């Protein structure tokens, strides 16, 4: 049997009206209850304010009896998204509204100008922007029963790829650290592409965000470490709500990236240190030289990278490229460069090259 799905758009105000009139069922039996944290809710509202797209909402038209002219719109997929918007815009219309569970305001991490504001405290232009925001909606016919709906979504999910660790972090965290790191990674998109560190597929899987997170970890933890999911998870968790010295961290990251682009980016095809597997250590080395792992509570002045030192780094790079570097260093760069020992071997090699050349 062919299922005819109506594809359309509905504004936030349409859902508000349906909820007010008792024509919207948010939580059918097969849908999970709302479990979003306030950070995720704030992130969604900020997404709407910025006019960015969100995933498709699936509804099912239902009628209680034959004499009804207006359908009951049942949310098949997107309950948490809609509940977030409705609890922000019109909590008084939610029959099961619970302030401890449902109340939230816009977070400073997502929109500093609107931080802490409720919908009623926004100006009229912003209120209209939210109410006029259009959801992409697919409507299933009323004849589709729950069993068929479950089968539909099992089919949709059966072709999904397995999410990686960074994609899981993206779904779990919505606070200060994530907002900062994702912003920094996006700023450098042209460079990631120019340096050919990541393929387009890698970028779509957030690999450049993960590497940016690691580089920020160098600054916070003041040293070089191996790459482990737990180490990165802890960074996101520890600085989700409060991220001290965020401004200084972002400033230093940009300075190091600017130096890499200015002195090494124009000949990136010749710089093996810009390979994905070596970039973390190369960034760490330059950060050490320019800022000496200084505490982020200090507004540090970057040390100038002299022409002579740039030449020494390029010479060290050429020795790696031409396989004339010490054998233990070559072996370290050939092996797992997520291992702390290999990373430190390369770091120390670069350090010796500029200190003793």
Same domain, 71 and 210: no
Which of 158, 190, 220 terminates a domain? The answer is: 158
Same domain, 182 and 217: yes
Specify the number of domains making up the chain.
2
What per-residue confidence (pLDDT) applies to 280?
96
Same domain, 188 and 79: no
pLDDT along the chain (357 residues), means of 10: 85 96 80 74 96 93 65 89 96 92 92 94 97 95 81 70 86 93 95 94 93 97 93 95 95 98 89 95 97 96 93 95 94 85 94 81
Same domain, 219 and 325: yes
Does residue 1 lie within any of the structural domains? no
Burial environment of residue 265 by CB neighbours within 10 A (0 to 12, 13 to 18, 19 or more): middle
The model's pLDDT over 27-66, given as tens digits with 9 standing for 90+, comes to 766 555 557 889 999 999 999 999 999 999 999 987 655 5
Does residue 68 lie within any of the structural domains? yes
Same domain, 218 and 285: yes
What per-residue confidence (pLDDT) applies to 157?
66
**Sign of the torsion formed by the C-alpha atoms of 175, 181, 183 and 186:** negative
Does residue 313 lie within any of the structural domains? yes
Q: Residue 354 and residue 356: Cα distance in Å, rounded? A: 6
Same domain, 123 and 177: no
Same domain, 103 and 188: no
Same domain, 326 and 240: yes
Q: Residue 83 and residue 85: Cα distance in Å, rounded? A: 5
pTM of the model: 0.82
Same domain, 126 and 173: no
Which of 131, 158, 185 terminates a domain? The answer is: 158
Closest C-alpha among 86, 83, 88 to residue 114: 88
Does residue 272 lie within any of the structural domains? yes
Does residue 235 lie within any of the structural domains? yes
Which of 117, 139, 158 terminates a domain? The answer is: 158
What is the CB neighbour count within 10 angstroms for residue 203? 16
Same domain, 120 and 262: no
The model's pLDDT over 189-243, given as tens digits with 9 standing for 90+, comes to 999 999 999 999 999 899 999 999 999 999 999 999 999 999 999 999 999 999 9
Tell me the β-bridge partners of 25: 74
Range of the domain at 38: 6-158
Q: Residue 182 and residue 127: Cα distance in Å, rounded? A: 27
Same domain, 17 and 132: yes
In the numeric block, which tokens belong to residue 77? 């997929």
Same domain, 39 and 96: yes
Q: Residue 256 and residue 252: Cα distance in Å, rounded? A: 6
Does residue 265 lie within any of the structural domains? yes
Does residue 317 lie within any of the structural domains? yes
Whole-angstrom CA distances from 65 to 10, 62, 71, 142, 212 are 25, 9, 10, 12, 56
Does residue 347 lie within any of the structural domains? yes
Q: Alpha helices, DSSP H only, in the chain? A: 12-20, 38-49, 79-89, 99-102, 124-131, 146-158, 165-172, 176-187, 189-195, 200-204, 207-221, 229-238, 246-263, 276-291, 307-321, 327-334, 340-356
């Amino acid at each position: 049997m062919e299922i005819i799905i109506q594809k359309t758009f509905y504004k936030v105000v349409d859902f508000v009206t349906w909820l007010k009139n008792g024509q919207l069922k948010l939580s059918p039996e097969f849908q999970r209850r709302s479990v979003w944290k306030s950070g995720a809710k704030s992130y969604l509202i900020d997404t709407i304010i910025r006019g960015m797209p969100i995933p498709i909402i699936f509804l099912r038209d239902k009628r209680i009896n034959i004499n009804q002219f207006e359908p009951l719109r049942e949310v098949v997929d997107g309950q948490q998204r809609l509940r977030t918007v409705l609890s922000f815009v019109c909590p008084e219309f939610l029959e099961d509204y619970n302030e401890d569970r449902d109340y939230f305001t816009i977070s400073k991490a997502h929109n500093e100008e609107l931080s802490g504001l409720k919908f009623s405290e926004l100006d009229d232009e912003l209120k209209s922007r939210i109410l006029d925001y259009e959801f992409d909606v697919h409507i299933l016919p009323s004849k589709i029963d729950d069993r068929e709906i479950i089968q539909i979504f099992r089919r949709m999910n059966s072709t999904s790829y397995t999410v990686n660790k960074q994609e899981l972090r993206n779904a779990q965290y919505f606070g200060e650290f994530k907002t900062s790191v994702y912003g920094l990674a996006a700023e450098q998109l042209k460079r990631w592409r120019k340096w050919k560190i990541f393929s387009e597929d890698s970028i779509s899987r957030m690999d450049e965000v993960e590497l940016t997170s690691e580089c920020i970890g160098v600054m916070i933890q003041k040293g070089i470490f191996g790459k482990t999911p737990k180490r990165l998870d802890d960074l996101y968790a520890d600085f989700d709500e409060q991220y001290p010295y965020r401004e200084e961290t972002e400033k230093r990251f940009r300075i190091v990236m600017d130096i890499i682009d200015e002195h090494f980016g124009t000949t990136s095809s010749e710089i093996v240190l810009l390979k994905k597997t070596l970039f973390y250590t190369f960034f760490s080395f330059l950060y050490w030289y320019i800022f000496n792992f200084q505490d982020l509570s200090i507004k540090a002045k970057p040390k100038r990278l002299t022409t002579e030192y740039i030449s020494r780094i390029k010479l060290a790079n050429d020795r790696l490229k031409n396989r004339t570097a010490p054998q233990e260093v070559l072996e370290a760069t050939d092996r797992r460069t997520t291992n702390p020992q290999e990373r430190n071997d390369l770091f120390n090699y670069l350090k010796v090259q500029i200190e003793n050349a």
